[in-house]
Structure 1
Amino acid sequence: MTFADPHSQTHRAQQPQQSAHEIGEAWSKMVARRRLYTGLGLLILFVAFVSSVKFADESNAGHFIERLPHLFDFVSWLVPKDWNDVWRALFDIESPNHQTGEEYNFALGRVPVWGSFYIPEYFELMIITINIALVSTIIGVVFAMPLSFLAARNLSPSSPLRIVVKRFMEFLRAFPEIVIAGLFAAILSIGPVAAIIAVSLHTIGALGKLFYEVVENIDMKPDEGMKAVGASWAERVRFAALPQVLPNFMSYALLRLEVNVRASTIIGAVGGGGIGEELKLSISRGFGAKTVALVLLLFITIVVVDQFSAWLRRRLVGEHAFLLQH
């Protein structure tokens, strides 16, 4: 008959408690170390921010810090004297003050269609902006789709080609649309063509990245089956990969359309045509009613485009794709 050693039993009982105590101390040390690193990072960021602001203030001829209280003074310049002029400017209705200057000559911007029927000037400019975004999105999708299959690791025909295509798309999205538009506006003159080229190039690069990331996550079993029957690369893409990725492609394309509407508006400020150019001129001249009308129309248009795009994505992709999976 054997008897258990009471000292050994006590040692085994204390061992889990010591291990738990050691884990707790290690956790406390790790948390303290992370808090220290976070504090140092925030301190470095604060010092860098203060130094940057000080440098900018010294470099600015108007002294940024001194002029900061007057940051929103321009808002008072753009407040309409008569708020009814906002609606008159929006629909090109003649203002009672039209004889006082160009600011109130709203009827001059009418676009005649037939007889007394006309399209308000700002509505036509908004249509031009939407057309720029729509055409640019279509061009971007048409070129980004084939490039995405060439850039995907699991479907690219060769590794060197994949690297070249990825670097090419990175180059296209490396520059903001407004920079590209300014370059092409200098070459092709001011107009929507330069805006379409700029937005299209950036869209190809941006959508190409999103598309090839989707392609790299597809189920490869259909592709293996196509390989087994001797299908070509184009046939594998068409029948094995495209059916899997097409819903996501359409969703990303519609999302990009929303982005391009905003980009097309900004590009108008550098001569890309559309409503952005008129908004820039209105602000620079201090035309309050026209500026408010343009901002209102732009806001309503973006909300409508966003809502329509979201509805269309749900119809194409399916309601189930937007629900939480349990």
Structure 2
Amino acid sequence: MTSATLHSDATKQQADAWRRQTSLRRFYTALGVGLLLIAMCATMWFADEANAGHFFDRLPHLLDFLSWLVPKDWNDVWRALFDIASPNDKGTQEFNFPLGRVYVWGGLYIPEYFELMLTTVNVALVSTFIGFVCAVPFSFIAARNLTPNPILRLVVKRFMELLRAFPEIVIAGLFAAIVSIGPVAAIIAIGLHSIGALGKLFYEINENIDMRPEEGLRAVGANWFERVRFADLPQVLPNFMSYTLLRIEINVRISTIMGAVGGGGIGEELKLSISRGFGAKTLALVLLLFVTIFLVDQFSAWLRRKLVGEQAFLMSA
């Protein structure tokens, strides 16, 4: 048997083995997807049976609530947004727009929803600041290449995991029993979660820094704090700020949700407006929330590009 024949037989065997392996992989994939679909259908059936209103029976009415929120006069949306009196006001809470004005000087006032939006944004900014200030030192302690003590690293990492393990609403519920409901409980809850979330991102950045400046300062007798301050922090600070700005965007959304459960700000008013079926007020709040989040996203994206550099956002060739 020639070497060419042996090579051809070996190639054929490899091709057959590859086809068998591919067929087996496809079979397992189809089996897994099928089992997942069966489990999903069974779960939905169980949920529908357990639901007193029967989810599938009420599904055709899913969008009925939108008809409750369509205002009779679309100009009331702008009147509600800027606290302008409505000609449709009959003395009910649905059209009492001027009552929410926050007067600052004489006849000068801030519209109620703008003031509530400022509260929501302030909750996000303060909680992010708390998260940043605490996450920076924790991240240097948790980095394997910067802290040789494994016990200290383990304790800090587990602590940050604990902070981000619980949803903000759970933490806010705990502190609401101590400091009562309001922005303070929301700030504490979002701030603690931000420490854990930012800390993980930061220490992963620290573990990929250039160690040559660190080694140079170590050679001249610098202590741990001096090495972190002058060798490590300048390398990672732009990326730290980038992630912090991204966290601000996330926290603005979270603080809105926290407001819906008693954390103050625009979320609480939005929940009440929807539950009462006030169409103009609801649309005004949604519009203001959308514009605010869009502006925050655009500003933070622009600032991240300035800090990190335009080249970091370009696809590599």
Bigger drift between 308-317 and 180-189 goes to: 180-189
Once residues 233 and 226 of structure 1 are traced to their aligned partners in structure 2, the CA distance between those partners, rounded to angstroms, is 9
- 1:100 Cα deviation after fit: 4.7
Corresponding position: 1:83 with 2:77:
no
Identity of aligned residues (%): 71
Q: For residues 240-291 of structure 1, what are the alpha-carbon distances to aligned partners after superposition, in whole Å with 9 as ceiling and x for unaligned?
A: 2111111110110000000000000000011100000000010111101000
- 1:157 Cα deviation after fit: 4.0
Q: Which amino acid aligns with 1:26?
A: A
Once residues 67 and 324 of structure 1 are traced to their aligned partners in structure 2, the CA distance between those partners, rounded to angstroms, is 47
Aligned match of 1:108 in 91, 96, 99? Answer: 99
**Match of 2:217?**
226
| Unmatched 5+ stretches in structure 2 | none
| Unmatched 5+ stretches in structure 1 | 1-6
Corresponding position: 1:179 with 2:170:
yes
Q: Secondary structure at the match of 2:52?
A: coil
Aligned length: 317
Corresponding position: 1:129 with 2:81:
no
Normalised to the residue count of structure 2, the TM-score between the two structures is 0.97
- 1:16 Cα deviation after fit: 2.6
Once residues 161 and 126 of structure 1 are traced to their aligned partners in structure 2, the CA distance between those partners, rounded to angstroms, is 41
Q: Contact between 1:152 and 1:213, CA under 8 Å: does it hold in 2?
A: yes
Greater gyration radius: 1
Q: Contact between 1:181 and 1:270, CA under 8 Å: does it hold in 2?
A: no
- 1:113 Cα deviation after fit: 1.3
CA RMSD of aligned residues (A): 1.2
- 1:19 Cα deviation after fit: 2.5
Aligned match of 1:217 in 185, 205, 208? Answer: 208
**Match of 1:259?**
250
Bigger drift between 240-249 and 279-288 goes to: 240-249
- 1:76 Cα deviation after fit: 1.1
Once residues 173 and 289 of structure 2 are traced to their aligned partners in structure 1, the CA distance between those partners, rounded to angstroms, is 22
Once residues 53 and 214 of structure 2 are traced to their aligned partners in structure 1, the CA distance between those partners, rounded to angstroms, is 63
Q: Secondary structure at the match of 1:98?
A: coil
* Equivalent residues in 2 for 1:143-292, closer than 5 Å: 143-292=134-283
Q: For residues 43-74 of structure 1, what are the alpha-carbon distances to aligned partners after superposition, in whole Å with 9 as ceiling and x for unaligned?
A: 11111111111211122111122112212211
**Match of 2:111?**
120
